[in-house]
Structure 1
Amino acid sequence: MEFQHILPATVAAKAEVKSDSLQIDVSLDGIAEKTMKASFKIPVIFSLSPFAFSLLPDARVKGQLAAKINLALIQMLLQMEDQSIEGYVTVDLGLAGTTDAPEITGFARIEKAAYENVRSGTILKDIHVLMKANGRKMVLEEARATDGEDGIISAEGWLDLLFTKESPFQLDVNLDKATLLRQDNLTASMGGHITLSGSLNDVVSRGRLVVGTSEIRIPDRFTPKITELEVVEINLPNNEMHRQKLAPVSTAQRLSLNLEVELPGRVFVRGRGLDSEWKGTLHVKGSLQNPAIRGDMSVIRGNVNLFGKRFALIKGELAFNGTVPSSMSLDVTAENRRTDMTTRVHISGDLSSPRVTLESDPPLPSDEVLSHLLFRRSTTRITPLQAFQLARAIKALTGGGVNALDFMEYTRKLLGVDQLAVVQSEESAGDTSVIIGKNLGEDIYIKAEKGVGSSKDKVSAEFEITPNIILDSEVGKDAQGGIGLNWKWDY
């Protein structure tokens, strides 16, 4: 036989039937480092005249399985087209007991294996697994892997060997700063504990996860939906046609979710000029095929950069109302204050296609708000070049333009900081400052501001004493500074 991406294999099988037993011997060469060998002796009732073939009740059974199997074979059998597995599993199992109560002894071990899921960006490396069979129970004594970086995933559990889909089991999984999602618009690391239990036919997951440093990105441009066309291939070899007709294997008929997800902070939402940090609580329910995420996240700090102007976030909420990402909605209000005008920008709607609106105090039409914001003058007094810039700004505001802040985003990542912004003074048109902010742990935020062509240099720090009490301190270039205590209450 021959499988895709797997070397040709040679199978030798022998079966001997007697009046009271069936002896089966199988060997398999070519797909592993060692020959796979299996031997079973099963008590049966066998007769040709009259014909009869059945298992003897409560009779002794005997068997042995020894193999070192390429995990790529499992990938092929389960048709894991968007996933890959590397490594080998060593199996040495024995069968004893009776036909009514069989017992299994021995072990299965995986060493230095790797797994990757292209769709979710999940990467597992240095996978080590040790399972031992002890009669009527299979025990997972050790399971450990890294996320390809510093994160660690470990597990332990057990499975009752009832040889049916109703066999009860339990699997306890622990995560320690593990990054399991690496998608274009979502990267998340997490710690915590998850328990999977139930039967092989009906799995229930429960647990609590604490999300570490994570990033949700709002794309600068959104790819339009492309209609999927049904493709019919002709003149395929028979084995290819047979492989395409095979149905995917389901790991469980049902997997129910009941997870609590805590986000204490350091969850960054960025893109389309938004640079912000959030916290919140989410509840994940539903099934593995159709998960439902509900809850909300509120802004801790942040700003929105639009057309070279910095807007401070004064309100922000990211709501999860079911299916992700289609049901995620954004509701952010940011403010830019000047001596002559206060401008507010409101970003709301679905995360995939947010709406951006402008308002001002004193009230002005949207185009006038932009004109005053960009050029400090009315649309009737701007130059032709400024009118062209204004038109491009309006187009970018409605989602049709190109984000001009890619360089700032690249520089922020290169420096390894959480905030990077260039701010122009509203009091003096010639004063410009560069602001860099960094979280030091979960409760301390440091911000440095450097004036360009001025002496406006200062360093400030925020220390969160409690979720409602924040200690602020600031010191300038002349060593003068201040300290303050802020109290807030969300209701």
Structure 2
Amino acid sequence: FDVSAAANGSGLSIGQTEADRLLSGDLTLVADASRDGGAIEIETLEFQTGMLEVAASGALASDESDIEIQARLADIGPFAPGFSGPASVTGSVGQNGDGRYTLDISGNGPGGTQVAANGTVAADLQTVSINVDGRAPLGLANSFIAPRALSGSAGFRLTIDGPPALSSVGGQITTSDARFIAPALGIVFNNIDLNASLSGAQAQVSMTAAVENGGVISAEGPVALSPPFSADLGIALNRVVLRDPRLYETTVDGRISIDGPLAGGARISGDLSLLETNIRIPSSGLGGAGAVPEITHLNEPPPVRGTRRRAGLLDREADAGRSSGPSYPLDIRVSSPNRIFIRGRGLDSELGGALRITGNTRDVVPIGAFNLIRGRLDILGQRLTLEEATATIQGSFLPVVRIRATTQADQYTIAVIVAGPVNDPEISFVSEPDLPQEEVLARLIFGRGLDTLSPFQAARLALAVRTLAGRGGEGVVGNIRQGAGLADLDVTTDESGNAAVRAGAYLGENAYTDVTVGAGGDTELNLNLDVSPSVTLKGSVSNSGDTSVGIFFERDY
């Protein structure tokens, strides 16, 4: 026979999303085949849509067949988010005289993707002997690991010899110019050198990487290729710098082992040594922004939802009220004989010691703490000696501190206590005999009761509260304002972020004055005199000698 056929169509759909993408647009089919004797000769077989082109030619016979194929995908982007560009495959498939299927194909894609496969498959599909070589960009995995991201490329030289199962896979996988970013953890690995040897359904992994902030991390050991991905990995940290620019920076040496299923339950244990560690108790203004309330998103556009997904907010919502992710038991000893410095808000201290991190990654249970070696607390020229300071780790691996500084003021023993997570500690002022917190501060700073303070002294006292309490302390400031008989007492920041305190009081029915004291000692005095409901005289003078006088007219309509 000799057959020629052609067909056209559009809008073809089979109800499967990925297949429907390939079939979108106009469709054409052209076939030209003949048979002379036992073999069928395919002169032309072409199939084309807006996304896909496929062409085949060759011969089909009962004893031996050979078909040449070519295929081209216009854009791989819809199937591999983050990549765009065409992908193509060329080669041949067939069947030899003993019934085994043969293949010899190669492909190319965006980002330097290359793959070549050749070998045979038994007629009953129960055994295969195939070699696969190639290279692919690691970014192909980014849509599955977002917001984490990979870059660089992976090369592979694999064999499949035996039944079609992971146990039949062998070969090597290596990386080149690889980089890994985990923004939520603040971790960046550069120059990742990975070598994985595959054999018997497991990979023997050897990896080294440079940590962005400093140091080198390496890992070695076997990992199973099938769930639950059991592993026995040894991880070495060589002067690895861990940093949160707002809170801490430390350099770590040591070894960690991961033993068990990576899908959940693997035991994480080891010994770590901290070299110099700096923990900062951050400062923030009393007028800082409050917490953002819960927001319900209505008709959320896909780009907005994608941004929230990359930021991890969708995972946070999904995990509300239930535990998230697998759990891993912990047994890690962390030691540092000294040089753990805690600074900020007038505090300067050094700690040392050791602690053991137990529990699991969902519920961290620290045993022990780092303890005080030496330290002090300075507040408006008053220096308090630290008598207690400890630091440990809470469930989110955030440092938690408790610091107590004491001094003597007349017949009172005064203590300042800083306690809580370093990103938001609570500050309290206590005394023996017992006094309200604002009275404790007044006697600590000025050696007198709150009711005897001048407006200028009250402003300095409020500035001291701001220094110690950061964004907290509003109640203490309010009590100072009332105790000093002021109409206004406010802690502010200027355009450069410098703290300042403004204290104001009425001198009469129509006269109001306020004084502003900056953190650097700059002072400005203002006087407002209401001549009438619409006319006000204003004057000011600063410690630098600047003066100003003005007449202001104001009327509401």
1:444 equivalent in structure 2: none
The alpha-carbon deviation at position 316 of structure 1 amounts to 1.5
In angstroms, what is the RMSD of aligned CA positions?
4.0
1:388 equivalent in structure 2: 459
Q: CA offsets, 1:142-182, max 9 Å, x none?
A: 3211212541111211235xx53155432111011102443
Q: Amino acid of the residue matched to residue 74 of structure 1?
A: A
Is 1:296 aligned to 2:369, yes or no?
yes
The alpha-carbon deviation at position 315 of structure 1 amounts to 1.0
Is 1:155 aligned to 2:219, yes or no?
yes
Is 1:69 aligned to 2:136, yes or no?
yes
Within 5 Å, give how 1:423-438 maps onto structure 2. Answer: none
Confirm or deny: 8 A CA contact 1:139 1:158 kept in the other structure. yes
The alpha-carbon deviation at position 103 of structure 1 amounts to 3.4
TM-score by length of 1: 0.65
Within 5 Å, give how 1:326-475 maps onto structure 2. Answer: 329-336=400-407, 343-349=414-420, 351-360=422-431, 366-394=437-465, 399-400=472-473
2:208 equivalent in structure 1: 144
TM-score by length of 2: 0.58
Q: Amino acid of the residue matched to residue 85 of structure 2?
A: P
1:8 equivalent in structure 2: 85
Within 5 Å, give how 1:216-255 maps onto structure 2. Answer: 216-221=279-284, 224-233=290-299, 255=328
Confirm or deny: 8 A CA contact 1:292 1:324 kept in the other structure. no
Q: Amino acid of the residue matched to residue 384 of structure 1?
A: P
Confirm or deny: 8 A CA contact 1:260 1:281 kept in the other structure. yes
The alpha-carbon deviation at position 293 of structure 1 amounts to 4.2
Q: Identify which range, 259-268 or 187-196, moves more after superposition.
A: 259-268
The alpha-carbon deviation at position 334 of structure 1 amounts to 0.8
1:133 equivalent in structure 2: 198
Within 5 Å, give how 1:269-348 maps onto structure 2. Answer: 269-288=342-361, 291-320=364-393, 322-325=395-398, 329-336=400-407, 343-348=414-419
Within 5 Å, give how 1:91-240 maps onto structure 2. Answer: 91-99=156-164, 102-134=167-199, 137-140=202-205, 142-160=206-224, 164-166=226-228, 168-182=230-244, 184-202=246-264, 203-221=266-284, 224-233=290-299
Q: Amino acid of the residue matched to residue 208 of structure 1?
A: D
Give unmatched runs, 5+ long, in structure 1: 46-54, 408-491
CA separation in 2, counterparts of 1:370 and 1:101?
Answer: 70
Confirm or deny: 8 A CA contact 2:120 2:130 kept in the other structure. yes
Is 1:260 aligned to 2:322, yes or no?
no
Q: Amino acid of the residue matched to residue 32 of structure 1?
A: G
For the residue of structure 1 that corresponds to 2:283, the secondary structure is coil
Confirm or deny: 8 A CA contact 2:410 2:447 kept in the other structure. no
Change (3 A) 1:236 1:339: closer
Aligned residues: 381
Change (3 A) 1:21 1:277: farther
Give unmatched runs, 5+ long, in structure 2: 1-75, 316-324, 474-490, 499-557
Confirm or deny: 8 A CA contact 2:409 2:444 kept in the other structure. no
CA separation in 1, counterparts of 2:165 and 2:460?
Answer: 82
Greater Rg over alpha carbons, structure: 2
CA separation in 2, counterparts of 1:37 and 1:274?
Answer: 63
CA separation in 2, counterparts of 1:15 and 1:198?
Answer: 44
Identical residues among aligned pairs (%): 23
Change (3 A) 1:258 1:39: farther
Confirm or deny: 8 A CA contact 2:283 2:467 kept in the other structure. no
Change (3 A) 1:102 1:394: closer
